[in-house]
Amino acid sequence: LSKALDLPPENLIKSISAVPVSKNRHVADFQLSIASVIENTSSDCLAQDLHLQAQQLAERLKCDSVVSEISAGPGTVNFTINRELLAKTVLQQVWKDGSEYGVKSELFSTVPRQKAVIEFSSPNIAKKFHIGHLRSTIVGNFIANLKVALGHEVVRINYLGDWGMQFGLLGVGFQSFGNKEKLKSSPLQHLFEVYVQINKAAEDENTKRLAKDFFRKLEERDEQTLSIWKQFRDLSIEEYIRIYKRLGVHFDEYSGESFYQEKAQEVLKMLEDKGLLQKTVKGTGIVDLSEKKDLSTVSTVVRSDGTSLYITRQVSPSVDLAAAIDRMNKHSWDTMIYVTDKSQSNHFQHLFQILKLMGYDWAERCQHVPFGLVQGMKTRRGEVVFLEDVLNEVRSRMLQNMTSTKTTKEMQDPVETAEKVGLAALIIQDFRGLLSSDYQFSWDRALQSRGDTGVFLQYTHARLHSLEQMHGNAELTDVNAACLQEPDAISILQHLLRYDEVLYRSSQDLQPKHIVSYLLTLSHLAAVAHKTLPVKGSAPEVAQARLCLFHAARSVLANGMKLLGITPVTQM
């Protein structure tokens, strides 16, 4: 192609793509998009012109020992690779690269290695860990996994809601309703119960006064008050770490609003010095973000009573400004990503705009990844209050489904397996669509063993694993590629060709759905081949080649699942 088009080969890499496997079988392996290699393709370049150019180019190209067939399609030139070479090359590549298959592709050769800070999960101490926090946790974890796999350095930050008036109430509540034993054994639940109880009395003048006093002492760094607060925070984090571990998630840093109280005051001073802070009649501090400077878009940074403490993130970004600046100083990152629900999109837009006005050019490298709302997630006990409720629920439902099948009896650790399979079900249901869309949660749909579910992915992985256990591990050295010429074998090989492109797409838009639909297709193709290409009872040479093909499919399936935050199971 490089000779025929007089273009350097590296310019063609992104114009050539593997052809998606289709139901009606025979498709070529690669296609070149004509529009992407022809200079000045304007929109009035008609489809028939492109088709003609494709035909002319196809005629100028000759088949050889690698390419066995060349044809023109609508605006594309299609290439079919010598069948034995295809099988050999794909299997060798998967075998050689192992867990780095797809990541080592030339598609990523021009992508610079970077340092990314990702802020995700971020629950509020003593409040519900609601389903939005769960979404933030699994989405943030996916983005971090993907970045690490692609060779970037990642700092995972959990930015806790660990400050504010609620701690005044919580402190007073603990004096009345607290129990040290319960605090140690189940801190999240106990603090939540205390918070709910004291909230009933929150309208009472005396309680209000006590809560204000407690919080004032906190702000003044009174030792005794601080040590109570610190105990709430430390015990909560310990418990979070334990639960995150069940999710397969870890953080490099547990930060929080409490860290930035003083720095937030410095930020307000900087805003003032730069002439960006304006006072309204009511005494609220605002920053004008409108283009014409007519106050048509403003962001509130200080409440009228002088506190920059915010009840929710929307009220005051000065703490977030301080956190962003501090992270830049500390980590000197190339990109910083915030993973929260889409109701906070405005807040982050304002945040990035203010940083830019303050002269921080790196604000352009900040990114908000918004996700939609999940409706209808309930456990048997009612609405979800804690993350652990969801994990226990999914584990028990899965265990129930598994005990009704016969194989569970011989399993080493059915409870552990149920948890991993159940988590896969939650993650796949969540990642199937665009992150920004809302969806209706359904336990029944998520936990189905047939169809496009996480359970199906796990089932496929376990089945391929037991195939390898049964027939001994495949050896690549003695594979006769001529034994892998059936359409069902070719389909798997063609699909494996596309893995790097799917990873590339997800790395560009940070959407997991590309990888999800790729893995579901891979599992469906493997399920069909498992039926039509038996290993048992085939001639040794054929059996060996098929084992190798199934091993490659399982290897790529496992890699993709791990990126999504799923631990593949080997028995089910």
**Residues shown for the chain:** 572
Q: With contact defined as beta carbons under 8 Å apart, do 422 and 379 qualify? A: no
pTM (2 d.p.): 0.93
Tens-place pLDDT, residues 90-117: 999 999 999 999 999 999 988 999 999 9
406-423 CB burial, b ≥16 within 10 A, e <16: eebeeeeebeebbbbbbb
Domain boundaries, the chain: 2-81, 116-259+319-375, 387-564
**Which fold is adopted by the domain 387-564?**
Isoleucyl-tRNA Synthetase; Domain 1 (1.10.730)
**Mean pLDDT within 208-220:** 92
**Of the CATH numbers 3.40.50.620, 3.40.430.10, 3.40.50.11810, 3.40.50.720, which one belongs to the domain with range 116-259+319-375?**
3.40.50.620
381, pLDDT greater than 80: no
Beta-bridged to residue 254, according to DSSP, are: 158
* Predicted confidence (pLDDT) per residue in 296-319, tens digit: 888 888 766 555 444 344 445 788
Task: In whole angstroms, give the CA distance from residue 150 to residue 145.
Answer: 9
What confidence score (pLDDT) does residue 45 get?
A: 64
| Catalytic residue IDs | 127, 130, 133
Note the CATH number of domain 2-81: 3.30.1360.70
Structure tokens at 295: 């106050």
Task: Give the C-alpha separation, 411 to 338, whole Å.
Answer: 40
Written as one string, the DSSP assignment of 403-435 is HTSGGGGG-S-HHHHHHHHHHHHHHHHHHSS-T
Residue 458 pLDDT exceeds 90 = yes
Helix (H) or strand (E) holding 70: strand 67-73
Count Cβ neighbours within 10 Å for each residue of 110-147 and write b for 16 or more, e otherwise. eeeeeebbbbbbbbbbbbbbbbbbbbbbbbbbbbbbbb
Highest mean pLDDT among 31-45, 219-233, 306-320: 219-233
Please say if the pLDDT value at position 406 is more than 80.
Answer: no
Lowest-confidence range among 18-27, 265-274, 410-419, 561-570? 18-27
Q: Are 215 and 171 a contacting pair, CB within 8 Å? A: yes
The proportion of the chain whose per-residue pLDDT surpasses 90, expressed as a percent, equals: 72
pLDDT score at 43 = 56
pLDDT for 301 equals 82
Position 538 confidence tier, pLDDT thresholds 50, 70, 90: very high
Query: How far is the C-alpha of 204 from the C-alpha of 437, rounded, in Å?
Result: 41
Rounded Cα distance between 448 and 428, Å, is 12
From 214, 300, 301, 216, select the one nearest 266 (Cα to Cα).
Answer: 301
> How far apart (Å, rounded) are the C-alpha atoms in residues 133 and 401?
27
According to the model, what pLDDT value does residue 312 have?
41
Q: Dump pLDDT digits (tens) for 49-101.
A: 888 999 999 999 999 999 999 999 889 999 999 999 999 999 999 999 999 99
Residue 409 reports pLDDT greater than 90: no
In 225-380 the beta strands, taken as DSSP E runs, fall at: 253-256, 277-279, 285-288, 298-302, 335-341, 366-371, 374-375, 378-379
412-434 confidence digits (pLDDT tens): 889 999 999 999 999 999 999 99
* pLDDT score for 498: 96
In the predicted model, is pLDDT for residue 488 greater than 90?
yes
Q: Which residues pair with 340 in a beta bridge?
A: 370
Phi, psi (rounded to 5 degrees) for 30 = -130, 155
How, if at all, do strands 30-33 and 76-81 pair?
A: antiparallel
pLDDT band at 129 (very low <50, low <70, confident <90, very high): confident
Predicted local confidence at residue 477, as pLDDT: 74
